[in-house]
Chain A
Amino acid sequence: MKLIRYKRPELTAFDDIDRWFEEAFSNFGRWTSPIEGFTKSRLAAQPAADLYEDDDNYYVRYELPGVSKGDIKVELERNFLTLSGERKEKSNGEEKSFSFNRVVTVPEGIDGNKVAAKFQDGLLTVTLPKAEERKPKAISVK
């Protein structure tokens, strides 16, 4: 089981530099930081994802703050879960649009017909039910 290779966005070299600036200037209490970009990676073109499992399901969670539900598209093709969509941002009267995209490889043996997604408070949770034959079963010893 593996996910597509993904570089943690907050660990890129540029972000480190931004972070130093941010820390160096933070005490000035400026309204706008001198360098925009620190933690912007949270809103990256390739959103970060968590993968969980329990007995019945796999779960993939993404952070998509400021995205409206209607602008999110989730697709499962074989064991590739593709998230794509647009984040629309209004600032000073202009509307800007940023697209995002992320492919996650999920484990085999998912019941594709029962995949469900829920979006709440900027968190998208995709529930991928395990097919019956993949669920753990207790075997009684005779």
Chain B
Amino acid sequence: MTTAIANKGKTEVSTAQPESYYKPYYNVDSNEKNYEVRVYIPGVSKSGVEMSVDDDILSITGTRTDQAPEGWKALRRELSQANYRLQLQLNNEVDIEKITAKVADGVLTVHLPKSEAVKPRSIAVE
């Protein structure tokens, strides 16, 4: 009887921890050529940002790089300590290869160039 259990031997122990994410505030602007998304992620520097595009979902994860040091004792807390996660569906044609992003002062700015197909064009009247 014991072998039945023993055979299962190498079951991997799941070490997944519950994680909570904070959905950051963001803004979207557009002009003729680009969409510009600004995501407010205070406490995250350039190295803490991960972005990916999977199919038509743009995923942004911001891991705080500036946490309060261990030795500090909190007397009052109002700020969230959670990391950031935002998923946006790209329901407009975007040139994925040319997406650029930068981080400054806790704001991630993502430029999403519109693909040629959806740019406005003037049509000559004959």
Question: Which chain A residues have a beta carbon within 8 Å of chain B's beta carbons?
Answer: 1, 3, 6, 8, 29-32, 38-40, 42-43, 48-54, 58-59, 61, 63-69, 89, 91-92, 119-123
Contact = CB atoms under 8 A, between A and B. Distances in A.
A64 B40 CA distance: 9
A63 B76 contact: no
Interface of B: 23-25, 27-29, 31, 35, 38, 40-45, 57, 65-66, 68, 71-79, 88-89, 91-92, 103, 105-107
Nearest to B56: A29
A50 B68 contact: yes
A29 B44 CA distance: 25
B40 A65 contact: yes
Given A29-B89, A31-B92, A65 B107 contact: yes
A51 B76 contact: yes
A42 B25 contact: yes
Given A39-B23, A54-B71, A64-B106, 14 more contacts: A32-B28, A39-B24, A42-B25, A49-B76, A50-B68, A51-B76, A52-B75, A53-B75, A54-B72, A63-B43, A119-B105, A121-B66, A122-B40, A122-B106
Contacts of B31: 92
Given A32-B28, A49-B78, A49-B79, A54 B89 contact: no
Contact of B25 (A8, A39, A49, A68): A39
Contacts, number: 109
A73 B66 CA distance: 21
B72 A52 contact: yes
A64 B25 CA distance: 13
Given A42-B25, A63-B42, A63-B43, A52 B105 contact: no
Given A52-B68, A122-B107, A92 B29 contact: yes
A61 B74 CA distance: 11
16 contacts: A31-B35, A31-B92, A39-B24, A43-B40, A61-B68, A63-B79, A64-B42, A66-B105, A91-B27, A92-B31, A120-B45, A121-B42, A121-B44, A121-B103, A121-B105, A123-B43
